[in-house]
Structures are given as C-alpha cells and as structure tokens.
Amino acid sequence: MTNPGISIYNFTSYREFLHDYYKEQKRRNPSFSYQIFANKAGFKAKTFIYKVIKGKKALAKSSTLKIAQAMGLKKRETDYFEAMVNFNNAKSISEKEHYFYNLQSLSKRYEASVIRKNQFSYFNHWYNVVIRELVTILDWNEDYKILAKAVDPPITPGQAKNAVKLLLELGMIKKLPSGKYVQADKAITTGELLKSLAVYKFQKQFMSLAIESMEKHNKELRDISTLTVGITEEGYHKLSDELKNFRRKLIEIVANDEPADRVYHVSFQFFPVSELPKKNTLLKAPK
C-alpha cells in the first residue's frame, strides 16, 4: 500500500478508512485534494469520494475496485477493502455476519484485529455478561461445572471456561492473588458498525430468553409487561428521555445494592408498531 502510516486491517468502516487515508495524503502532500483523488480513480465527479466519506453515497463494486487501485492496495488489501464495503452496505444481519467473518479471515494478525474480534465475541454470546456477574458473587472455586450450572438456562462447563478466559483477555474481570475474581471498570469499544451488529444479536438472544422466562419462572420472580400507546413525535422524545432517566436511576440503585446474590437482565423495548408519517424520519435505520 502507498500509505505505510495507515493499516487497512485496523478498520471495519470503509468510510473511516477513506477519511483517514485522505487526511494522511493531505498531510504528506498539501496539494492533494478530493478532485485529484477522484481523477486518479477515474471518476468524473470530483465530489464523489467526498460524498462517499460523508455517507451521502455508497460504493458499488466497480467503484470499489477503482478506488482500491487509486490507493495502490495490494491483492489481499483489495480483497479486505471489498469485504469491508460489502459489510458496510449489507442490509440484513445475516449478510453483515457473513462479511464480518470474511473480514476476520482476511485480516492480518495485528493485535488490534484480535482485540476487535474478542470484543465482538463478548456480545455474541448472551451468557458472557451473566458470567461476568456470577464469577464475583458465586463461591465456585474454579469449578466450571458449578459456574455453568448457575447460569439460567444452564450452559456447558466449556462455555463457562471460555467466557471467563474472554473476560480476562478483555480486562473486564481480574483475578486477585487470593483467587477471588473482581470486575474491572473496563468499557467495550467495538466501533459503531461492529457494535450495532453485536448488540443486535445480543438483544435478540435476550428477547428469546424473556419468552422462555415467561413459561418457566413464576410471576413472583419476573416482571414482564407491555404497553401499546398512540403518541406524537414530541411524545416519543419525552418518553425516550424518561427511559434514559430511569436507566440512570436503575444504575444508581444497582450500585448501592450489595452484596449481590443473583443476576437479572433488564430490557426496555420501545418501538413503532404502525406506519410512521412520511415526513417523519424518526427511527429509520441508518444505511
């Protein structure tokens, strides 16, 4: 690649990659411009690449190859760039998953790439978040059978062991010299595209668990309710703000509720179940 300061394998968004590539070229050569970049790629419109970076246009396959050649990408880098474009442009979750794993197979074993894959794996299995809580409140004495059985629904000891290993690698838990596990205040940052895909799968899994809970747990052990209302766009914003305020209050209550002896999952589901007015762009999924 013509730009050794930037590794394409550290990106999952082709727009971010193009943005950083352009900035680096501009830094190295002040006369470099979007028009020069577009001309080099064979585009008549000098603003084409600028609009792509700003999200106003998407790359087609033919455009992808032209830009890859203009940047001097090698064969593997070009394949990665094409997979990144496909991943970003994919409409369905199954498509995004396919191209995500394609990205992983093409990426070189840079540390950032491995970390990003682990971060994705954290959300990929619902029980990872449960294990993160259980290891600190359960007297399991390194017995993964006990740990796995404590998860509801139960998982395998192998899954429990892999979850603990992942949490340690991500720095989300740590083991003290005494053998006790404690949580580390570590944030997960996957980047917006991976975060959206991972969190979607995560939320979908917990929705399935909520249905299972309705059939398995007594009402005294769960609180699942629904409310369907007719509101305006202004009403939506007010209710959304109230939910945000309640989430903050919930976190405050949990922080002062010690010592914990069980793990619960709390979900908020607030979505349209009718057609929105055409003038209303609210809640439309980002492209």
Three-state secondary structure call for residue 172: coil
Amino acid at 229: V
Of all residues in the chain, the percent with pLDDT exceeding 70 is: 84
CATH number at 8-90: 1.10.260
- How many Cβ atoms from other residues are within 10 Å of residue 87's Cβ? 23
Nearby residues of 168 by Cβ (< 8 Å), 6 or more positions away = 174, 175
Question: Please, what sign has the CA dihedral across residues 104, 105, 109, 110?
Answer: negative
Rounded Cα–Cα distance for residues 107 and 78 (Å): 11
Nearby residues of 280 by Cβ (< 8 Å), 6 or more positions away = 233
- How many Cβ atoms from other residues are within 10 Å of residue 180's Cβ? 11
Amino acid at 282: L
DSSP codes joined into one string, 222-277: -----------HHHHHHHHHHHHHHHHHHHHHHHT--S--------------SPPP
Q: Can you give the pLDDT at residue 91?
A: 82
Nearby residues of 21 by Cβ (< 8 Å), 6 or more positions away = 3, 6, 71
Over residues 169-227, the pLDDT tens digits come to 888 899 999 999 998 865 555 555 555 666 666 777 777 788 788 888 888 888 877 78
Task: Copy the structure tokens of residue 189.
Answer: 């940052």
In words, the CATH class of domain 109-220 is mainly alpha
Asked if residue 24 has pLDDT above 90, the reply is yes
Q: What is the mean pLDDT of residues 228-249?
A: 89
Contact between 32 and 26 (Cβ < 8 Å): yes
Number of residues that this document lists for the chain? 287
Reply yes or no: is the peptide bond before residue 272 cis, omega within 30 of 0: no
Matching fold, domains 8-90 and 109-220: no
The pTM for the full model equals 0.51
Rounded Cα–Cα distance for residues 99 and 90 (Å): 8
Domain coordinates of the chain in residue numbers? 8-90, 109-220, 225-287
Task: Copy the structure tokens of residue 114.
Answer: 């491995």
Lowest pLDDT segment from 41-45, 65-69, 72-76, 226-230: 226-230
Asked if residue 277 has pLDDT above 80, the reply is no
Over residues 31-47, the pLDDT tens digits come to 999 999 999 999 988 89
Contact between 223 and 264 (Cβ < 8 Å): no
Q: Which residues pair with 183 in a beta bridge?
A: 173
